Amino acid sequence: MGNRCRVCTSNDREALIEQVAGDLWESRRPGTLDDYPWEKAGGYWRRIYLELGETAVDSLTGALPGHT
């Protein structure tokens, strides 16, 4: 698939949100007290980061209220 946009080519919104959430988690993980992989993140943190991932996907696709 080369350099094709993952947001544009994804047909599984939930998997895309999961990937974005995991990437966000991994980006801030090193050197913190919660230095463990996304797969082992606790329920609270998974929920928070999935919400952030959903907001990011909505922002990128123009699905946020007030955006066109």
Domain boundaries, the chain: 6-61
CA 9 vs. chain centroid, Å, equals 16
Answer yes or no: is pLDDT of 35 > 70. Answer: yes
Q: Which amino acid is at 48?
A: I
When pLDDT is averaged across residues 40-68 and rounded to a whole number, the result is 87
pTM score, whole prediction: 0.81
Percent of the chain scoring above 70 in pLDDT: 90
Which pLDDT value is given to residue 2? Answer: 63
Q: At what angle do helices 43-61 and 13-28 cross, to 10 degrees?
A: 120
Binning pLDDT at 50, 70 and 90, where does residue 45 land? Answer: very high
- What per-residue confidence (pLDDT) applies to 68? 52
* Separation of alpha carbons 19 and 22, rounded Å: 5
Contact predicate 40/25, CB 8 Å: no
Structural tokens at position 62: 């123009």
Over its C-alpha atoms, the chain yields an Rg (Å, rounded) of 13
